[in-house]
């Protein structure tokens, strides 16, 4: 199946929304998305930093909301 998107007509917000929808669908079957070994190393490091109180994480909905707000603020009207 070949899918063509009007990328040149899509805003950055449109493109990010399309990526979010694709990832939401792809991630419904985690086994279909193999994780490279270096992901494990990065996650272990982040877990260590979090345990030491050196980093703070946001839940997904908050992070996406903040990114969208930032995108809107930086997009031409």
Q: What would the pLDDT profile of 6-44 be if each residue is shown by its tens digit?
A: 999 999 999 999 999 999 999 899 888 888 999 999 999
Q: Is residue 56 part of a domain?
A: yes
Q: Is residue 8 part of a domain?
A: no
Q: Is residue 75 part of a domain?
A: yes
Give the pTM.
Answer: 0.48
Query: Does the pLDDT at position 77 exceed 70?
Result: no
Q: Is residue 45 part of a domain?
A: yes
Domains held by the chain: number: 1
Q: Which residue range(s) make up the domain with 50?
A: 37-77
Cα distance between residue 74 and residue 61, in whole Å:
20
Q: Is residue 5 part of a domain?
A: no
Q: Is residue 71 part of a domain?
A: yes
Q: Is residue 7 part of a domain?
A: no
Q: Is residue 24 part of a domain?
A: no
Calculate the alpha carbon distances from 45 to 12, 35, 57, 66 in Å: 31, 16, 13, 24
């Amino acid at each position: 199946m070949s899918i063509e998107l009007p990328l040149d007509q899509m805003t950055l917000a449109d493109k990010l929304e399309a990526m979010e929808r694709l990832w939401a669908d792809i991630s419904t079957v985690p086994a279909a998305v193999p994780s490279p070994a270096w992901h494990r190393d990065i996650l272990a490091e982040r877990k260590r930093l979090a345990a030491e109180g050196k980093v703070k994480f946001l839940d997904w909905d908050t992070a996406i909301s903040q990114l969208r707000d930032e995108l809107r603020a930086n997009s031409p009207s």
